[in-house]
Structure 1
């Protein structure tokens, strides 16, 4: 029995995916709240932060290099060190007069490092665990990946909000928040140097006499998969509505009532959306992983597709009613996030299914690249659309944009036994 099978996945899967989530949510979620506090408009914030998705879109271009050079474990540990330094570096850019340009520059470095880390870590996960374990731990990995959201959108937002409340200085507050986040990340990166097992399959690939030919053959093998057009359309369209909604949630929660928002403070957003809401998401992720392992992906996909999209109507209600009961707002966000947790777990398991076979690491990264493209393009326009339509009509539009997801769910093919114990 190799070392990867001797060491319990509970000793490294949770922390690996927690660390995978932190830089992603720092780039994609914390920037939204941070730039809102620092006075950047919704249109500029959405447009420029949506571009940060680009590394996840184009990461398949260099994903074969991860298989050709070095081990997945080595890539994972080295990149975690780079990411920890990048997170801490954000803190030094915010007090400067040109903080927007400088912080975005550091975020670009973080985004490219994080996207490359995703390739290595996801490939490592598939090499270190048997298929049954992959299905059993897909909910765990999703849960702890989302627990990073609690750390970022809950803990970091709460910390920044408290510092703002006591000092009135958003720049200092967010500098403190990113310094703390970088320190936590680096501590876990050091832990992984010793905790990650060394599976026998995770070995340097045998050097090909024609590496470029092998590079392009990896891509060609993906695009020769049966039903590739439907697969790509599913990856691009499944999150079309949710991607637009996601970018505007924090601005909606923070904007004053007169502007159509709910008027919550940064600290309150950290509690309601970043903590209570994410607890709902974590429970949804755990339930989703258990149900897929119990019944298989095919039987769960339609119920989970409904679960991720129908609760988006909650934001239509919140924008129309503008309730001021904090507990009620938090409960609404928890319900919406629980459905998102169920749906995203099935989406992740579908990408694992598509990537099975030779070059699974590179093929999984290609899947996530198309998923990221399906997030990036709609989000670039979401801020401008919100400013044109107002929150009420914007959320109605986002809900109608979920219709293509149901169409593609009806068209894809699923192995009846995939994911089932």
Structure 2
């Protein structure tokens, strides 16, 4: 039996999922920008920052602990506090000869804390909301997760760019920026402490109490059509997993070496202003569409929406426009397409987690999602250096073909996610 202290989901879902998105984007993407500005090579950036996905890949190993011990709320609040300390540590480690090793060490600690925060936060979402609410709010959830990411990739990067210019020292600029991120995480932890509902699972819940790690895992891997489902999870973002690692270096790279030579602040502006509006619109419309018509109606259109905008980077790399308007238009289309297309992916993951151990099974599913981002991303820097930016983006376009094939082949109830009330 579950005892719930009811709170309006509109009050806690936005802040909870912003607090998922910010540390993830700082660790996985903003670290790329930081290392690029601090002189690290593309191959090292692609390899080592992609390895930071590993905690999200292996988080199913410890997800049963969160399902069986304590409460989801205590877990995510603890992890969010740890993350605030981690970013403080990064900020204090950006100078000196060993900055790459030290900051990576802190990012690794942050990655484990962030992955654990994701497990507990997603568990709260699955436990506190009814199935119809889960489908309805998936757009809001995905949108604010993405807003958290844009806050990191947009506002935080704009601040870093401003500090680079005003201080004339990239190392100090990124030090102050990461300390600011730590303070922001501490503030969000406090907001989530005040806003999230208390969902306490009673110790007399026998199926939960008697569950073992083995049972949690075996019940996931014996689900119907599980091999096909996991292939879909791994391949749906095959193109994006490579694009996301090289998009920022491409925008920042000098024109002589194939980039657009935008400033750090300009890159932050593109993702943090017009990108946010497009993302909001796409994410909300995606959730509403599935809630109205069901997942089956929108799977293929959403797969196309997420993948096709990647082709626009081929034009950017080929023409290297001097005006910021062309890159700005690409960002708008990409962010809208991502917000709209990612809704189908998230609803499918919710479907895949159905059953007694929702929190653990969702963690396993998102672990495979992270693996699908990590492995191609590790090679992205080497592929880019081999093919150049134009050739690399052509390859990214080719990589969407398996995603579209799997979106057409994967099995699920066509009406899943449709509001029935």
| TM-score, normalised via structure 2 length | 0.96
Q: How far 1:96 sits from its partner (Å)?
A: 2.7
Alignment of 1:19-418 (within 5 A): 19-199=19-199, 202-204=201-203, 214-418=212-416
Alpha carbons 2:234, 2:368 under 8 Å: kept: yes
Instruction: Report the Cα distance in structure 2 between the residues aligned to 1:65 and 1:3, rounded to whole angstroms.
Output: 20
Instruction: Report the Cα distance in structure 1 between the residues aligned to 2:126 and 2:344, rounded to whole angstroms.
Output: 17
Instruction: Report the Cα distance in structure 1 between the residues aligned to 2:366 and 2:262, rounded to whole angstroms.
Output: 33
Instruction: Report the Cα distance in structure 1 between the residues aligned to 2:171 and 2:3, rounded to whole angstroms.
Output: 47
**How has the CA–CA distance of structure 1 residues 108 and 226 changed in structure 2, closer, same or farther, with 3 Å as cutoff?**
same
Instruction: Report the Cα distance in structure 2 between the residues aligned to 1:245 and 1:300, rounded to whole angstroms.
Output: 24
Per-residue CA shift, 1:280-319, capped at 9, x if unaligned?
2232111111111111111011100111111111101111
Q: How far 1:206 sits from its partner (Å)?
A: 5.2
Per-residue CA shift, 1:312-331, capped at 9, x if unaligned?
11101111111111123211
Q: Secondary structure at the match of 2:415?
A: coil
Alpha carbons 2:15, 2:191 under 8 Å: kept: no
Instruction: Report the Cα distance in structure 1 between the residues aligned to 2:97 and 2:179, rounded to whole angstroms.
Output: 19
Q: Secondary structure at the match of 2:199?
A: coil
Q: How far 1:207 sits from its partner (Å)?
A: 7.8
Instruction: Report the Cα distance in structure 1 between the residues aligned to 2:34 and 2:171, rounded to whole angstroms.
Output: 9
Displacement over 3 Å in runs of 4+: 2-6, 202-211
Q: Which runs of 5+ in 1 are unaligned?
A: none
Per-residue CA shift, 1:146-197, capped at 9, x if unaligned?
1112211111110010111112211111111111111111012012222211
Instruction: Report the Cα distance in structure 1 between the residues aligned to 2:341 and 2:21, rounded to whole angstroms.
Output: 18
Per-residue CA shift, 1:21-52, capped at 9, x if unaligned?
11101101110100000000100011000000
Instruction: Report the Cα distance in structure 2 between the residues aligned to 1:315 and 1:188, rounded to whole angstroms.
Output: 34
Instruction: Report the Cα distance in structure 2 between the residues aligned to 1:133 and 1:381, rounded to whole angstroms.
Output: 39
Q: How far 1:17 sits from its partner (Å)?
A: 0.3
Q: How far 1:209 sits from its partner (Å)?
A: 11
Alpha carbons 2:71, 2:199 under 8 Å: kept: no
Q: Which runs of 5+ in 2 are unaligned?
A: none
Instruction: Report the Cα distance in structure 2 between the residues aligned to 1:72 and 1:114, rounded to whole angstroms.
Output: 14
Instruction: Report the Cα distance in structure 2 between the residues aligned to 1:407 and 1:227, rounded to whole angstroms.
Output: 16
Alpha carbons 1:69, 1:204 under 8 Å: kept: no
Q: Which is further off, 336-345 or 248-257? A: 336-345
Instruction: Report the Cα distance in structure 1 between the residues aligned to 2:71 and 2:302, rounded to whole angstroms.
Output: 35
| TM-score, normalised via structure 1 length | 0.96
Per-residue CA shift, 1:336-386, capped at 9, x if unaligned?
121111111110110001111110110000100001111101010100110
Alignment: residue pair count: 418
Alpha carbons 1:68, 1:207 under 8 Å: kept: no
